[in-house]
Chain A
Amino acid sequence: MNRRATRLGNVLFITVNLLFLLVICSSMIIPLWNAVAVSFSSNLASMQPGIQMWPRQFSFSGYKTIWSILAIWKPFENSAIVSVLGTLLHVFLCSLAGYALAQFHLPGRRWITSLILITMMIPFQAIMVPVYVTMQQLGLLNTLFALILAGTVSGFSILLMRNFFLSIPGEVLESATIDGAGHFRLYWNICIPLSKAGLATVALFEFVGRWNDILTTVLFINDPNNYTLQVALNSLISQGGSMSSGYIVTDNVKMAGIMIAILPLLLVYPFVQKYFVKGIFVGSAKE
């Protein structure tokens, strides 16, 4: 009797558990699926009430409108430039600094490390006003370069790279040192090829962060020609029906914009899965 009761309990447990997870998953999938369906609907159909889990009157007009008529290709291009160049620069400079900090015999290493650690305790928003003033004094306001420059290095990435370099066995480096290799050669020919996972982690974090960033553009850019995708999309969505061009922005156009904004992220997603967790743990391991 008792045994049967536990078996029944087990079945019930598994069923309830599965149902719970199903509800959670559908709360993630249904909104996205709904957005996909609406983005492929025609202008008029997208505005009609009702559950849309499949495009009504299938059409690309949402995508055509946002891409060419509302010219979102320009902010898309800006975002691509800023994200790609910014990420490359970020990975390069952070790995260089991480390499230097991984050398124990470097005089002043602790001092420099704490200089970098302290920056991690300062939220960017807390110094956004004086950073804006600095950017203005440097004459960089309204340039894409300001967006690339902001966040060129970060304490998080530097420490993450340093931890990766520290995990390289010392004998490998020693034998290379005996062969007379300088630090730049050690860094480029030995450490970089051995730390691909670390580089990928930093690059992915940074690319996703830059692609999704809104604050730096809002701060440093006034000229719509230099807007990034997220800011252009935000003004499109929040201004609702009216645009400066007098064009009515229907729901399918908004959802098409959202799809365009998440496409690059979905492309890197398989890699993100692989590296993010690893990165999080290496990053949080001992200072």
Chain B
Amino acid sequence: MENTQQLAARTLSMKSKLKEQRKGKNKLAWTLYLMLVPTIVYFVILTYFPLLHAILISMQNFHMIGDRPFVGLQNYSQVLSDQTFWSTFGNTLFLGIGILLIGFVAPIVIALSLNELLQTWLKRTIQMIIYIPHLFSWVVVGGLWIYLLTPNTGLVNVVLKLLGIPQVQFMTDPNLARWVIILVSVWKDVGYNCILYLAAMVSINPALYESARIDGATRWNEMWHITLPSLGRTMQVVGLLSIMGILRLFDQIYVMRNAVIEPKVDVLMTYVFDQGFKQIDSIGQATASALLILLLSLFLTLFTRRLVRYDDM
């Protein structure tokens, strides 16, 4: 009897202590909110407000100065009936899928190949070298490749000449330029994804290889049946990130395009940019198209998330 009373008293005192503590913590909470103020203010002013404002702008005949008459869904119908919008949509698909497929396979092949190297120093050196282009800006990478591919003076064409092959106009032939853009994009990012795969390979249980070797597996067998299947998760993440990157394609095109190849390489984001900042008085239309693209990218994200189950990463 006495025991339970004592116990009850103790729990009561514990309760009040906890309450006090919680009060103290709540008092401290305002400091935490203070820490979050800059972030919240930033996102409200430069992300959420523009996002909501975009919905309004997309339904206006928007002028930077002067009145902005409400036009309903006219901007949207203009975008959807614009030939250029659909051709940039097609270009985005072509370039995006090209970059996605080649950019997905290439780093896996290189990582597997690197993994077979026995000398650690060589492995590390090569890894370091192939990562370098990822660090550079698109202005640098684009400028470099445009220079290398110039007829007559560019290194690629000089080598072609030595081999007796006629000069190729890489950057003025629209169909070739598309492939140049795909391959240069892969060239730039291959090292980055490669490092992700190599990191995943390090964590594979060595016992798997040992038992395979005892069973008489060749290196090829090991690669095909042990290494590759262990990369599944990394492949999912890399694939997810690349899919989301398709609609964000902008810098590379902005840097590498020219008047001749534009109809074949302009993508959705360059369409938005051109409508918004090069055309006069089509800010409303630019915003409408941007919102359509945003909607598409949200769909794509939700779709791939469901497909890939990112959450069990």
User: Are A123 and B247 in touch, CB under 8 angstroms?
Assistant: yes
User: Are A24 and B110 in touch, CB under 8 angstroms?
Assistant: yes
Chain B 26-44 near chain A by CB (<8 Å), digits 1 or 0:
1011011101101110110
CA distance A6 to B217 in the complex (A): 11
Flag whether B224 is at the interface (Cβ < 8 A): no
User: Are B135 and A208 in touch, CB under 8 angstroms?
Assistant: yes
Which of B132, B133, B153, B250 touches A49 (beta carbons < 8 Å)? Answer: B153
User: Are A100 and B36 in touch, CB under 8 angstroms?
Assistant: yes
Within 8 A of A (CB), among B120-140: 126, 128-133, 135-140
User: Are B132 and A99 in touch, CB under 8 angstroms?
Assistant: no
User: Are A112 and B36 in touch, CB under 8 angstroms?
Assistant: yes
Chain A 201-219 near chain B by CB (<8 Å), digits 1 or 0:
0000000100111110011
Which of B38, B130, B195 touches A97 (beta carbons < 8 Å)? Answer: B38
CA distance A96 to B46 in the complex (A): 19
B57 neighbours in A (Cβ, 8 Å) = 129-130, 133
With A127-B54, A234-B255, A269-B135 in contact, do A152 and B38 touch (Cβ < 8 Å)? yes
B177 neighbours in A (Cβ, 8 Å) = none
CA distance A112 to B258 in the complex (A): 44
Which of B136, B148, B313 touches A265 (beta carbons < 8 Å)? Answer: B136
User: Are A184 and B31 in touch, CB under 8 angstroms?
Assistant: yes
User: Are B248 and A123 in touch, CB under 8 angstroms?
Assistant: yes
A131 neighbours in B (Cβ, 8 Å) = 46, 50
Flag whether A88 is at the interface (Cβ < 8 A): no
Chain A 150-189 near chain B by CB (<8 Å), digits 1 or 0:
1011000010000000000000000000000011100100
Binding site secondary structure of chain B: helix
A116 neighbours in B (Cβ, 8 Å) = 39, 43
User: Are A287 and B126 in touch, CB under 8 angstroms?
Assistant: no
B22 neighbours in A (Cβ, 8 Å) = 105
User: Are B50 and A133 in touch, CB under 8 angstroms?
Assistant: yes
A20 neighbours in B (Cβ, 8 Å) = 113
Residue of A at shortest CB range from B255?
Answer: A234
The minimal Cβ–Cβ distance linking B161 to chain A, given in whole angstroms, is 8
User: Are B254 and A212 in touch, CB under 8 angstroms?
Assistant: no
B311 neighbours in A (Cβ, 8 Å) = 286-287
CA distance A285 to B313 in the complex (A): 7
Residue of B at shortest CB range from A258?
Answer: B140
Residue of A at shortest CB range from B247?
Answer: A123
The minimal Cβ–Cβ distance linking A54 to chain B, given in whole angstroms, is 13
CA distance A123 to B101 in the complex (A): 22
B283 neighbours in A (Cβ, 8 Å) = 129, 133
Which of A96, A122, A134 touches B35 (beta carbons < 8 Å)? Answer: A96
Flag whether B214 is at the interface (Cβ < 8 A): no
User: Are B143 and A234 in touch, CB under 8 angstroms?
Assistant: yes
Residue of A at shortest CB range from B284?
Answer: A129
With A17-B116, A129-B287 in contact, do A212 and B143 touch (Cβ < 8 Å)? no
Flag whether A224 is at the interface (Cβ < 8 A): no
User: Are B36 and A97 in touch, CB under 8 angstroms?
Assistant: yes
Chain A 12-29 near chain B by CB (<8 Å), digits 1 or 0:
011001101100110111
User: Are B155 and A130 in touch, CB under 8 angstroms?
Assistant: no
User: Are B39 and A93 in touch, CB under 8 angstroms?
Assistant: yes
The interface on chain B, measured as residues whose beta carbon lies within 8 A of the other chain's beta carbons, has a size of 91
A234 neighbours in B (Cβ, 8 Å) = 139, 143, 255
The minimal Cβ–Cβ distance linking B19 to chain A, given in whole angstroms, is 13
Residue of A at shortest CB range from B57?
Answer: A130
User: Which of the listed residues A10, A31, A219 has the most CB atoms from chain B within 10 Å of its own CB?
Assistant: A31
User: Are B47 and A119 in touch, CB under 8 angstroms?
Assistant: yes
User: Are B251 and A50 in touch, CB under 8 angstroms?
Assistant: no
Within 8 A of A (CB), among B55-85: 57, 64
User: Are B113 and A153 in touch, CB under 8 angstroms?
Assistant: no
Within 8 A of A (CB), among B252-306: 254-255, 258, 269, 272-273, 276-277, 283, 286-287, 290-291, 293-294, 297-298, 301
Flag whether B7 is at the interface (Cβ < 8 A): no
User: Which of the listed residues A18, A103, A129 has the most CB atoms from chain B within 10 Å of its own CB?
Assistant: A129
The minimal Cβ–Cβ distance linking B110 to chain A, given in whole angstroms, is 6
- By Cβ-Cβ distance, the 7 closest A-B pairs, closest first, are A212-B137, A130-B50, A97-B39, A126-B294, A183-B31, A100-B32, A237-B143
Task: Using A128-B276, A284-B313 as known contacts, list a sample of 10 further A-B pairs with CB atoms less than 8 Å apart, ordered by residue number in A.
Answer: A10-B219, A106-B32, A123-B269, A126-B269, A126-B290, A126-B294, A152-B42, A215-B251, A218-B254, A234-B143
Please name 22 pairs of A and B residues whose Cβ atoms are closer than 8 Å in the assembled complex, sorted by A.
A6-B218, A10-B219, A13-B116, A13-B219, A13-B220, A28-B129, A30-B155, A50-B158, A100-B36, A121-B298, A122-B47, A123-B248, A126-B293, A126-B294, A128-B290, A133-B50, A212-B137, A212-B139, A230-B140, A251-B153, A261-B139, A277-B195
Interface residues of B (CB under 8 A from A): 22, 25-26, 28-29, 31-33, 35-36, 38-40, 42-43, 45-51, 53-54, 57, 64, 110, 113-114, 116-117, 126, 128-133, 135-140, 142-148, 152-153, 155, 158-159, 161-162, 187, 191, 195-196, 199, 218-220, 237, 247-248, 250-251, 254-255, 258, 269, 272-273, 276-277, 283, 286-287, 290-291, 293-294, 297-298, 301, 311, 313
